[in-house]
Amino acid sequence: MKKLTGSILVLFSVLNTAAQTPSVIPRPKLVVGIVVDQMRWDYLYRYYERYSDDGFKRFLSKGFSCENTFIPYTPTYTAAGHTSIYTGSVPAINGIIGNNWYRRDLKRNWYCTDDSVVSSVGSTSSAGKMSPVNMLTTTITDELRLSNNFQSKTIGIALKDRGAILPAGHAANAAYWFDNATGGWITSTYYMNDLPGWLKKLNDKKLPDQYLKQNWNTLYPINTYILSTADQKSYEGELSGEDDSFPHKTDTITSNKYDIFRNTPYGNSITFDMAKAAIDAEKMGQRGITDFLAVSFSSTDYIGHTFGHNSIEAEDTYLRFDKELADFFSYLDTKIGAGQYLVFLTADHGVAHIPAFMKENKIPAGTFDDAEVLKWLNENAEKKFGIKRAIEQVINYQLYLNYAALQENKMDREEFKRWAISELKDHPAIMSAFDLHELPGTPIPVKIKEMVANGYNQKLSGDIQFIFKPQWFDGGPTGTTHGAWNPYDSHIPLIWYGWGIKPGKMNRETYMTDIAATVAALLHIQMPNGCVGHVIEEITK
């Protein structure tokens, strides 16, 4: 009897254990990766009181926020940011060291997604001659496709080609970006030979024209925008030759109207339209397998560059984006099902204040001109050493030396580098300059050294690096930019919501490169093959 009782207990224990073990690995129906181009971390809280309950506040109250997420490399540019988010690696490994870099073999600058082998699809312009061919590693979107023998669909969408192509990965079903020549969404023969029917129908609606007819006025009474500077400032840029104040008369623009369209919040609106259309038509998240939509919102970057961080235009753009984000959540709840999709939102970089604005408020700042520095250094080098064009290019805060010219003039390369570094250090914009080949022994702060090392690719990068003083950058008298190591460029939001995410927040330092590793852990798939990030365990527990 005792043996029988014991056998029954063992059997019950086995059955109970089996009942607790899932027959399949639980995964979300759809992963949506959102990159808000040029979104500083503090935008989450700067306009917090003006946000709706279901946009950014839904992320912050019902999701998980990694409050101290940083970019671990420099320069902090768009292509490098999107690539590092989705590869979990850094430019030193993935090969995307900037939006552009200098090719010594070709004697010219090279764009991050240039591919002369492919052709435009959906346009006769050259805007479609793009692919991920220059990216050296896999992405988390690639790994999802690889994990189930390519059953998952992965699609990238952005106004910018680099914002769509690099996140979508090498094995993507599609990547779509905006073409100024047609005012529609295009792709390249890397992905397909013809646009799908649903996208042709969407392009036929001419949504950019419909949005431009609305003009751009503030969403709320302009006197309520107390978190921004006055509407009209001499250091702000402008749209299409009009003055830089509200309302912006976009309905009268005829020249370069689709380029200007990017510089309005309606560029974000059409990106949301495109994201919904892709989910609907491709049945993403509705096919019994996990799909991945990588969507990047580019107009925040265009507007920030033109009008600056402290402008009413920037504030209005984020208030509008918040409302559209809330609507997108509502759409996903209905289409995919609440709790059935996983979303993360982050940024590819931040942005600096306009130097003139900083000076206006007694804070040190200034601008620098790469072209002028290249000219100045080469003129001085010719006077001192008799060498013409001793430096081939200045780009990404790096100098590319002309090896052939130095050799022809029997100039010792190390001696010339010491001279060039000394010249750079005398420039009022520059905090430090050093030989990239001697980086380990360079006496600069450890954090900056690590960021430079992570951004340095031995085959692609230059010879000498310089670091700006805080609030200095390469630019002109109006607008602003990004690219430096400083927190205003490198401190970005990282918020998670939906499937498997418990509400919370933390201040432990995390990095852009941790995103891919964390998504891989949540999906139970391999992380990208160049990933150096770590799983954010607080999210996965």
Q: Look up residue 513 and give its two tokens.
A: 């490169």
CA–CA distance from 346 to each of 34, 71, 157, 511 (Å)?
Answer: 6, 11, 15, 11
> In this structure, what are the phi and psi dihedrals at residue 438, rounded to the nearest 5 degrees?
-115, 30
Q: Does residue 26 sit in helix, strand or coil?
A: coil
Dihedral sign from CA coordinates of 450, 83, 508, 525: negative
* Structure token digits, residue 399: 């100098």
CB distance 498 to 517 below 8 Å: no
Both tokens assigned to 392: 């081939």
CB 198 within 8 A of CB 174: no
Rounded CA-CA distance 200/8 in Å is 65
Question: For strand 366-368 and strand 341-346, is the pairing parallel, antiparallel, or unpaired?
Answer: unpaired
DSSP state of 455: H
- For the chain, first and last CA: distance in Å? 44
Helix 266-282 to helix 197-204 angle (10° resolution) is 150
CA distances from 296 to 35, 42, 134, 231, 272 (A): 5, 19, 19, 28, 10
Residues 495, 345, 162: CA angle, nearest 5 degrees: 150
Residue positions annotated with a catalytic role = 78
Distance CA 404, CA 490 (A): 36
- Spell out where 450-539 has E strands: 464-468, 472-474, 491-492, 494-498, 504-511
